[in-house]
Amino acid sequence: MIGVLDYGMGNLGSVLNTCRKLEIPAKLISSPEGMEDLHGILMPGQGAFRDCMSHLRDHGFVEPLRAWVAENRPFLGICMGLQVLFEDSEESPGVAGLGILPGTVRRFSPTGTLKVPQMGWNRVRWMPGQSFFPQALHDRHFYFVHSYYVPMTDAKWAGGITSYGIEYLSAISFGECHAVQFHPEKSQRDGLALIRAFADRVNHLRKPSQENAS
């Protein structure tokens, strides 16, 4: 079972409907107690960094999420679900993120041709060596809506890059923790394929324990 994190914000309906369309067993989780029988977590998010962290704290999810990732259990973050993995954001000075990854989320600088927020379809290129994101989806277009971004880094969690005035990290991946700045649930066939890949990974990781139990 995959849990779709319900912490008071995020595009929950679209994400849950996508899971249903793909026949992926999924349910909304509104408290840490609901995480006990999960095999994977999908965290959608939209809105402000400050609000996201406030809602996570109010629902008691901050420490359980840190523990989940530290235990290398499957996680897929979407949009704000990527940004809050970092220490902080220029959007909300003084507000701490989950701090699972080091670094600050930055704001795009508008130019004569590039508007903020970035809204619409853009290309994503997977980083060499990453092992989660399907190569069949390399250099494909996904749907973005955001004003803040994760700067480029050579760190081991770099999963994919996108260009919008500058190159930035549009995907991260380390261990079983993955996150994307774009919205796969709004990205038609390729977005559905990405969510399917996460569900397949969750099922793959369950198999050894299932076989041992039998």
- The CATH number of whichever domain residue 9 belongs to comes to 3.40.50.880
How large is the angle between the packed helices 62-70 and 49-58, nearest 10 degrees? 90
**Annotated catalytic sites, by residue?**
79, 183, 185
Residue-wise pLDDT tens digits, 27-80 = 999 999 989 899 999 999 888 999 999 999 999 999 999 999 999 999 999 999
Cα distance between residue 146 and residue 91, in whole Å = 11
Residue of 109, 94, 89, 114 whose CA lies nearest to 181 = 89
Q: Peptide bond preceding 117: is omega within 30 degrees of 0, i.e. cis?
A: yes
- Owning domain of residue 126: 2-213
- The C-alpha angle 7, 78, 28, rounded to 5 degrees, equals 40
**Could you give the CA distance from residue 114 to residue 165 in angstroms, rounded to a whole number?**
7
Asked if 173 and 74 count as a contact pair (C-beta separation under 8 A), the reply is no
pLDDT, residue 47, reads: 86
**Number of structural domains, the chain?**
1
In whole angstroms, give the CA distance from residue 187 to residue 36: 30
Which residues does the chain have with pLDDT short of 50? 209-214
Residue 71: strand, helix, or coil: coil
The confidence score (pLDDT) of residue 214 equals 42
pTM above 0.85, yes or no: yes
What does the block give as tokens for 20? 């249903």
At 96 the pLDDT is: 97
